[in-house]
Structure 1
């Protein structure tokens, strides 16, 4: 009897031992409905989980556009002669920087002598009439001469002054130094000068050629104030406003973005491409820009500061459900519990997406900014158990 009882007790003890749960190994995942998804630190590191919070980020709806670096009309000049003449000297080369008023070339024509002689004649005539006018003005003030005689002298004075002004303007147009002519020094060769500062882009002159008014001899471009010119499709026109931020990059180097701001836009749509031209002022300094360089641009419309997360923090399921994971545990704890939270998303830009959590997150919640698809797989394992 004692032998039978002893065997029975031994069997009860062995059965009780089998029913004891196994110890939890550190790397095992324990998933329960009230504790979320529990991961050890080793699992967290292997999953690449990064912790962070929802932050305010400048986001917008982007309008993609393509275009090029351009020069506005007021920053380029075609230089031609104001009177026909033969090119005698050329002082500049293509690619050379010049200042406004700098001599580009000299040219000559016999008619230049006539212009200067006309000025001298009108100046001498005016000087004589001016003396008569001043004398008549004193005489009429003293009632020595009649008002009628003074008026006739005054009319002649005004006519002579107008003729002299016209002769002076003709000298100025030719670029002749008036002071030199006043001293009696006249020349048949005058200088062609740069109307603006910039780079000599084209030289179409040669020594000995006859240049006329319709023939551009030099092209000068000012590269100090280049603009961004892009084409925007008709459907996007209502979104574009002056002052909007523009980011752009050069073809083949889209990783390096530069900034500009919309300054103006056209008022008519190109009937062929159904596009409108937008001009933006370039803000990024130190760029080596050349007119005609092609660019890819994004015009940031409806730009505002929004609550956002990295795109890597959001899981998008096939049924379009969007969610992330958060924890209220110490991220450095031996094991951390993660909980799912659903979100609505909005603008996406530069790897960030605007989010609105559909549930209120705890104040101390830390959000998984990466590794969320690993967390999703662990969540699915939990649901299958």
Structure 2
């Protein structure tokens, strides 16, 4: 009994060695097996497995609008997340502080014009030595100080859509086309508090985490019927993934800022389509049999994805120039293992 069991172990060991070394098989050794072949189709791109993604703002691209003074009443004229156009009224500010601020703007403009006139009037006098350097420094400092103050206030006033002295109010408009993010708070708005921000349409992107090994061939993503190209790829990995950013999301895609979804990645890489019955497992690899000089040769391929009837595979060789076995594959593998045909 022990001798018989030992002989079986020896047979199994011999089979495993044969499996590791078997790479080709003569057609003549296959007897009357029906053999058919297919020529793999080469394609320039393929769709991979779905990946998690989110609609986000491209960092550093949104516009922030803050209140210049403490404001008693803030009334938003649009809804949260609404798409708005440049110049569209966004928020109405009301209260005595508004009147005070508008008076400050007018005073700053007057002081700036006076300082500018003095500066220009005295500039020729400096050239001919009629005024001292100390006096010129005083004139210059007054001019540049009032200029900066005026420009600071004017920058906010460029965003003002309209003013109403009767109600001590002003209306702030959108500086660009985009999606508005309102900063609604329960308490009063203090000077410098954010009123709202504007996300330009071209800064709304899809952020997707892609496996590191496939990141450099990622060219686009598909969301339902929406096709969006990939614009940039991070050079820093986060574990097994790399962050990719799409180009601007077209409005017709109807995606919401902050929306989470799965996307179908599209990889730009030369791959091949093979019938699923052409591919078999050999130890830890996926392989196919190719025909050459009346021999079937085992060739390792990498499975990247699949369709209902085909595998999407990559190979170091140009499979489109080869004949790949598509019938009796399991039987050929069995013969190669020494197990006999079907």
Instruction: Provide the TM-score with structure 1 as the length reference.
Output: 0.56
| Secondary structure at 1:211 match in 2 | coil
- Per-residue displacement from partner, 1:162-185 (whole Å, max 9, x unpaired)? 13302312321431699x9xxxx9
- Per-residue displacement from partner, 1:173-199 (whole Å, max 9, x unpaired)? 431699x9xxxx999544433344212
Q: CA RMSD in A?
A: 5.2
Distance 1:127 1:378, change over 3 A: closer
Query: For the Cα contact (< 8 Å) 2:62–2:197, is it kept in 1?
Result: yes
- Greater CA deviation, 63-72 or 339-348? 63-72
Question: Which residue of 255, 258, 261 maps to 2:230?
Answer: 261
- Per-residue displacement from partner, 1:126-180 (whole Å, max 9, x unpaired)? 255246416736xx75xxxxx25354553343133213302312321431699x9
Distance 1:345 1:374, change over 3 A: closer
Distance 1:93 1:288, change over 3 A: closer
1:211-226 matches, within 5 Å, as 211-213=189-191, 215-226=193-204
Residue of structure 2 in register with 1:14 after alignment: none
Distance 1:37 1:377, change over 3 A: farther
Q: Which runs of 5+ in 2 are unaligned?
A: 1-26, 306-310
Instruction: Provide the TM-score with structure 2 as the length reference.
Output: 0.61
Query: For the Cα contact (< 8 Å) 2:331–2:341, is it kept in 1?
Result: no
1:192 matched to 2:182: no
Q: Which runs of 5+ in 1 are unaligned?
A: 1-31, 142-146, 329-338
1:104 matched to 2:93: no
- Greater CA deviation, 105-114 or 344-353? 105-114
Question: Which residue of 240, 243, 247 maps to 1:278?
Answer: 243
Query: For the Cα contact (< 8 Å) 2:210–2:243, is it kept in 1?
Result: yes
1:85-96 matches, within 5 Å, as 85-87=71-73, 90-96=76-82
* Distance in structure 2 (CA, Å) of the matches to 1:213 and 1:83: 4
Question: Which residue of 67, 74, 80 maps to 2:53?
Answer: 67
Distance 1:284 1:153, change over 3 A: closer
Offset, 1:81: 1.0
Distance 1:75 1:101, change over 3 A: farther
Residue of structure 2 in register with 1:144 after alignment: none
Query: For the Cα contact (< 8 Å) 1:93–1:203, is it kept in 2?
Result: no
Distance 1:57 1:79, change over 3 A: same
Length, aligned pairs only: 298
Residue of structure 2 in register with 1:314 after alignment: 279
Task: Give the greater-gyration-radius structure (CA).
Answer: 1
Distance 1:96 1:35, change over 3 A: closer
